[in-house]
Amino acid sequence: MNPSCLKEARERLRLAREDVVDQAKHLGDEYEGITPRALELWEAGTKEPELRHLEALSQIYVCPVGWFFLPSVPAEPFALDFRGVAPGAKVGGRGMQTLSRFLELADWAEELAIQTSQFIATRIGQTSLQDEMSELVAAERRRLGFDARIRSTWHSSDDAFDWWRHQIEDLGIFCFVMRLPTSEVRGASYWGKRGAAFILVNSEDAEAATGRTFTLLHEYAHLMLHENLVCDFRGSKNGAKIERFANGFAAAMLLDRSELSASLKELDATQFRSQWGDAMLDRIREPFRVSRDVVAIYLEELGLAPKGLYNERRGVWSKRKAFGRSAAGRVGRNLTAQRLRMVGNTLAKVLSSKQAEATLSALDLAEVLDVKVERVPAVLQAFRHAGGHG
């Protein structure tokens, strides 16, 4: 074992030793626990970890065990751009882990779809920052089949998210839902090496389902721009224009300006205000099952709020714990539901196919889905039901 590789693998994900020790406690009984002192000695080369320790570390560091025996950690250019993260914001260890797993799962899913002859070209439009937003939104609403009548069929914000996700997945896009630090990242978009498209949505969004829906459409806009981007929707200096474009697209897809104007008139809220409290934003947004993002963006556009309102409020919201979560709205009430929620219908359909069954072992699936081997049949049964394989 090369001690310097052990340290480099940890530091590439910005993990402190304390983070590693804490996460090792939650890996499950099949992995060995790790102490701070032991990790320090291993990285110094004073003591040698056993294989069971290295297996635990490979899970935490999102890398193969073989890395720890190389002369140095392989050069690994990160495939996601961080221009969508606010100035001065830094994605920490847990965020980097999730983003690394997202990329790993995306590349694996793309190759599997090709190997099993299930690769479908993504049916998505293309756009640029110079395109007329109203024309773009009209075209994409037609493509996805959305209008106010569809909204009236939803009984909850979770219904809204599930509908939008299903429509986007029907275009051949892989939509993953994973846990990310709410103050750092809301989502990411990624084009695979062979042309598959992926969206990552934060399961812990501060606005629960309405926030996840906004993220989904924001990242959809990035795919149309052919951006591989990590976002918190405020954007770095170089990426602010792109983030504003994606924010505007998501808001317009979810709510017509005319609908909002009519609602503001009913609420006697058509005058400029220097401050818009969350309670008022909630009164405006709730009938439309949209997030506060949508309302704040429109209020700025309509000249009813000062410029910068959205970024200011977004910074406040990102520091809060998630609100508005009902028991039904939690991401997965059991392990099977969690895994289906995580990978989405596009990948579930690939994984539960006869072609994949002939290609993958239960051990392969257990590792990819992070479940015990004996749970794989139940998970695949849920995938088959969701993906239309029986």
Each residue of 108-117: pLDDT tens digit? 999 999 999 9
Taking residues 315-338, report their average pLDDT: 62
Question: Quick check: is 101 in a domain?
Answer: yes
Say whether both 170 and 217 belong to one domain: yes
Whole-number pLDDT of residue 75: 82
Q: Per-residue pLDDT averaged across 214-240, rounded?
A: 94
Split at pLDDT 50, 70, 90, the class of 205 is confident
Specify the pLDDT at position 28: 67
Which has the minimum average pLDDT: 18-27, 46-55, 249-258? 18-27
The region of weakest confidence among 191-205, 209-223, 294-308, 354-368 is 354-368
pLDDT for residue 197:
97
Residues 353, 209 share a domain: no
Please indicate, yes or no, whether residues 150 and 44 belong to a single structural domain of this protein.
no
pLDDT of amino acid 334 = 80
The verdict on 92 and 57 lying in the same domain is no
pLDDT of residue 332: 38
Answer yes or no: is 87 within a domain. Answer: yes
Q: Is residue 14 part of a domain?
A: yes
**Are 41 and 97 members of one domain?**
no
What mean pLDDT comes out for the span 146-173? 96
| Pair 116, 244 in one domain | yes
The rounded percent of the chain whose pLDDT value lies above 70 is 95
- Report CA-CA distances (Å) from 1 to 127, 247, 335: 49, 47, 35
In a domain, 300, yes or no: no
User: Which of 217, 242, 270 is where one domain is finished?
Assistant: 270
Q: What is the largest CA-CA distance in the chain?
A: 71
Residues 215 and 174 in one domain: yes
Confidence band of 324 (pLDDT split at 50, 70, 90) = very low
Same domain, 118 and 230: yes
What's the domain range around 64?
Answer: 3-69
Domain for residue 277, yes or no?
A: no
CATH number assigned to the domain comprising residue 15: 1.10.260.40
Instruction: For residues 128 and 243, state if they share a domain.
Output: yes
Kindly state the average pLDDT of the residues 175-201: 94
Indicate whether 63 and 105 sit together in one domain: no
pLDDT above 90 as % of the chain: 68
Q: What is the pTM of this model?
A: 0.89
- For residue 114, being part of any structural domain is answered with yes
Please report the pLDDT score of residue 30 as a whole number: 61
Beta-carbon contacts of 82 under 8 Å, excluding residues fewer than 6 positions away, are 91, 229, 230, 236
**Angstrom distance (rounded) from CA 208 to CA 289:** 11
Give the end of a domain, one of 41, 69, 97.
69
Confidence check: pLDDT of 203 > 50: yes
Domain stop point among 246, 270, 294: 270
pLDDT band at 384, cuts 50/70/90? Answer: confident
Domain total of the chain: 3
**Using CA atoms, how far apart are residues 131 and 252, in angstroms rounded to an integer?**
14
Distances (CA, A) of 153 to 74, 146, 176: 51, 11, 24
Residue 174 in contact with residue 198, Cβ under 8 Å? yes
pLDDT at 322 over 90: no
**What tens digit of pLDDT does each residue of 8-37 get?**
999 989 899 999 998 888 776 666 778 999
Residue 30 belongs to a domain: yes
Q: What is the pLDDT of residue 330?
A: 42
- 158 and 181 in a single domain? The answer is yes
Residues 271-281: pLDDT tens digits?
A: 999 999 999 99
**Is residue 339 assigned to a domain?**
yes
- Whether residue 257 is found in the same domain as residue 214: yes
